[in-house]
């Protein structure tokens, strides 16, 4: 039989998840920066002060969503299981697909639309894992002779991030309502690893 503390912890976790789900709906309707705790409380069927038992502030809700989003993006880019330059391309494509399926969270993660919001170290930790994931793939590509050793430096990692963010930013700015396959700019994503290799050709 479930203990009372365990039951309370489960209910607490379920309520937090429900709050975050409602918050995402509000952000989708009002813009990411338009999140209102009063609106979330009304949709949850409670008074606004009750929300603060679960999240200390509006920014705490953003922080929890930021962590959820980074974990989701990390899981996506790590799914293909490819190595080297092929792995870079597969991870970029998997990440782009995740972004197209999670556009509200992606705005919070990659475009920082909320004035004054800075993620906590705990919530930002998965982003560092993503950085290490791509660094490992590029390192493998260098070892295989697919890329110049300079590709494994910080400038190379910055270029990879810029290539994918540029394509996705153009896509969401111009065609946010289409699928990954239909996108004018997402269809360029499979070519990004070749662009990266052209900048850092093997010696």
Alpha helices in 1-83 (DSSP H): 4-30, 37-44, 48-51, 58-78
Residue 123: in which H helix or E strand, if any? helix 121-143
Q: Which two tokens stand for residue 90?
A: 């597969």
122-155: b (≥16 Cβ within 10 Å) or e: ebeebbeebeebbbebbebbbeeebbbeebbeee
Q: Identify whether residues 102 and 195 lie together within a single domain.
A: yes
Q: Identify whether residues 71 and 46 lie together within a single domain.
A: no
Please give the C-alpha separations between residue 197 and each of 12, 151, 192, 202, in angstroms, as whole numbers: 48, 9, 9, 8
Q: Is residue 17 part of a domain?
A: yes
- Given this model, what pLDDT does residue 80 score? 85
Q: Which two tokens stand for residue 94?
A: 């998997």
For residue 114, give every residue at least 6 positions away whose Cβ sits within 8 Å of its Cβ, in sequence order, or none: 32, 33, 35, 59, 62, 108
Q: Identify whether residues 151 and 179 lie together within a single domain.
A: yes
Pairwise CA distance, residues 21 & 27, whole Å: 10
Q: Identify whether residues 72 and 113 lie together within a single domain.
A: yes
Q: Which two tokens stand for residue 56?
A: 């200390």
Q: Return the closest-CA partner of residue 99 out of 122, 124, 69.
A: 69
- Given this model, what pLDDT does residue 7 score? 80
Q: Return the closest-CA partner of residue 156 out of 96, 197, 125.
A: 197
Q: Identify whether residues 35 and 70 lie together within a single domain.
A: no
Structural domain range at position 28:
1-55
Q: Identify whether residues 133 and 35 lie together within a single domain.
A: no
- Given this model, what pLDDT does residue 94 score? 97
Q: Could you tell me if 114 and 88 are in contact, meaning their C-beta atoms sit under 8 angstroms apart? A: no
Q: Is residue 60 part of a domain?
A: no
Q: Could you tell me the pTM of the whole model? A: 0.92
Q: Identify whether residues 17 and 105 lie together within a single domain.
A: no
pLDDT tens, position by position, 61-113: 999 999 999 999 999 999 988 999 999 999 999 999 999 999 999 999 999 89
The count of structural domains within the chain is 2
Q: How big is the CA angle at 141 (ends 135 and 144), to the nearest 5 degrees?
A: 145
Percent of residues, the chain, with pLDDT higher than 70: 98
Q: Identify whether residues 170 and 74 lie together within a single domain.
A: yes
Which of 25, 55, 85 is where one domain is finished? 55
Q: Is residue 136 part of a domain?
A: yes
- Given this model, what pLDDT does residue 4 score? 66
């Amino acid at each position: 039989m479930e203990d009372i503390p365990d039951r309370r912890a489960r209910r607490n976790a379920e309520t937090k998840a429900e709050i975050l789900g409602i918050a995402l709906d509000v952000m989708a309707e009002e813009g990411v920066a338009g999140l209102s705790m009063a609106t979330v409380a009304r949709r949850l069927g409670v008074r606004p002060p009750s929300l603060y038992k679960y999240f200390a502030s509006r920014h705490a809700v953003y922080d929890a969503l930021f962590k959820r989003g980074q974990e989701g993006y990390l899981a996506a880019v790590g799914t293909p299981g490819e190595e080297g330059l092929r792995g870079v391309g597969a991870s970029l494509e998997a990440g782009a697909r995740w972004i197209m399926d999670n556009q509200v969270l992606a705005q919070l993660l990659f475009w920082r639309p909320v004035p004054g919001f800075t993620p906590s170290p705990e919530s930002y930790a998965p982003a560092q894992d993503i950085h290490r994931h791509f660094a490992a793939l590029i390192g493998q590509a260098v070892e295989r002779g697919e890329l110049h050793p300079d590709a494994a430096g910080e400038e190379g990692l910055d270029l990879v991030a810029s290539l994918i963010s540029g394509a996705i930013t153009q896509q969401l700015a111009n065609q946010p309502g289409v699928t990954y396959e239909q996108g004018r700019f997402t269809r360029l994503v499979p070519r990004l690893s070749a662009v990266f290799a052209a900048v850092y050709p093997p010696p």
